[in-house]
Amino acid sequence: MTAVAPSRKPPLEQASDSLLLRQDRAGVTTLTLNRPQQFNALSEAMLEALQRALEEIAGDRTVRCVVLAANGKAFCAGHDLRQMHANRRLDYYQALFAQCSRVMQAIQALPVPVIARVHGIATAAGCQLVASCDLAIASEAARFAVSGINVGLFCSTPAVALSRNVSTKRAFDMLVTGRFIDAATAADWGLINQAVSEAELDAAVAAKTAEILAKSPAAVRYGKQMFYRQRQMTLSEAYAFAGEVMARNMMEEDADEGVAAFLEKRPARWGA
């Protein structure tokens, strides 16, 4: 596993080059949050490390899928409240939340699927991180909350991602009460795809990455870009855009190979 270093070293925390670990194996890149003593809170340095890693992955055609994981007892406890409390300035908070928003959007802007591997708690911006990933698989023991309301702070930026995953009333209930939901409820509500036992978590993530790796890389890239862009459009705009994307996808060698393989009743041989 290699480490991804942020652009500057933060004070009063572990060496910045170990905050985020990266492992590349057979087309799957695993990014592991590595502040276990702080429940993987999203400090400035952690957000910078994530942004830098996502930018590197975006330009790496060998990466077919990304897994976002974490070390320690928790997936992510949200923003670093100690760091926030020590910098009580409006311009600081504006820059911090803008930085976090860029990271969340960079996840969806990646041309490959991102899977959250969730254990322990995912709270506030940690829950936002789960909601921002394309897919999420969690341990049955995992719990989720947008709990800023409990410290006098409505989780406004997490609300953006949360409300795009679960229904309006369920999202607002979580936001206004700060209550936790378990993994089974999170799966039922659409925040995650699947809840499995702790012992099965790695196997379930591996099975999902294997499913993705078995598909055409070109089709997945086209599909992810189309999926998120069309959600912001009217119905007629979405169909026009999707039709153009599908036509261009059909001109790819992978589509020609896939159709030929189907007609010839043989396995397809995908390109890079």
Per residue in 6-23, pLDDT (tens digit) is 444 344 455 555 999 999
Q: What is the rounded average pLDDT of the residues 26-40? A: 97
Whole-number average pLDDT of the chain: 93
| Contact status, residue 63 vs residue 29, Cβ threshold 8 Å | yes
For the stretch 253-267, pLDDT in tens is: 999 999 999 999 999
- The model's confidence at residue 272, banded by pLDDT at 50, 70 and 90, is confident
For the stretch 47-68, pLDDT in tens is: 999 999 999 999 999 999 999 9
The rounded distance, in Å, linking the Cα atoms of 5 and 52 is 8
The rounded distance, in Å, linking the Cα atoms of 96 and 117 is 25
Question: Other CB atoms closer than 10 Å to residue 202's CB: what's the count?
Answer: 14
pLDDT at residue number 14 = 55
Q: What is the rounded average pLDDT of the residues 27-54? A: 97
In angstroms, the Cα distances linking 131 to 49, 137, 258 are 19, 11, 32
Superfamily of domain 2-213: 2-enoyl-CoA Hydratase; Chain A, domain 1 (3.90.226.10)
Exposed e or buried b per residue across 129-151, where buried means at least 16 C-beta atoms within 10 angstroms of its C-beta: bbbbbbbbbbbbebbbbbbbbee
pLDDT at residue number 257 = 93
Cβ-proximal residues to 132 (8 Å cutoff; 6+ apart), any chain? 104, 105, 107, 108, 161
Superfamily of domain 217-263: Lyase 2-enoyl-coa Hydratase, Chain  A, domain 2 (1.10.12.10)
Instruction: Provide the residue type at 76 as one letter.
Output: C
Q: What is the rounded average pLDDT of the residues 202-218? A: 97
Q: What is the rounded average pLDDT of the residues 226-233? A: 94
In angstroms, the Cα distances linking 99 to 83, 84, 92, 202, 221 are 15, 13, 10, 30, 25
pLDDT at residue number 3 = 53
| Contact status, residue 29 vs residue 57, Cβ threshold 8 Å | yes
Domain ranges of the chain: 2-213, 217-263
Environment class of 12 (CB within 10 Å of its CB; exposed 0-12, middle 13-18, buried 19+): exposed
Q: H or E segment at 115? A: strand 114-118
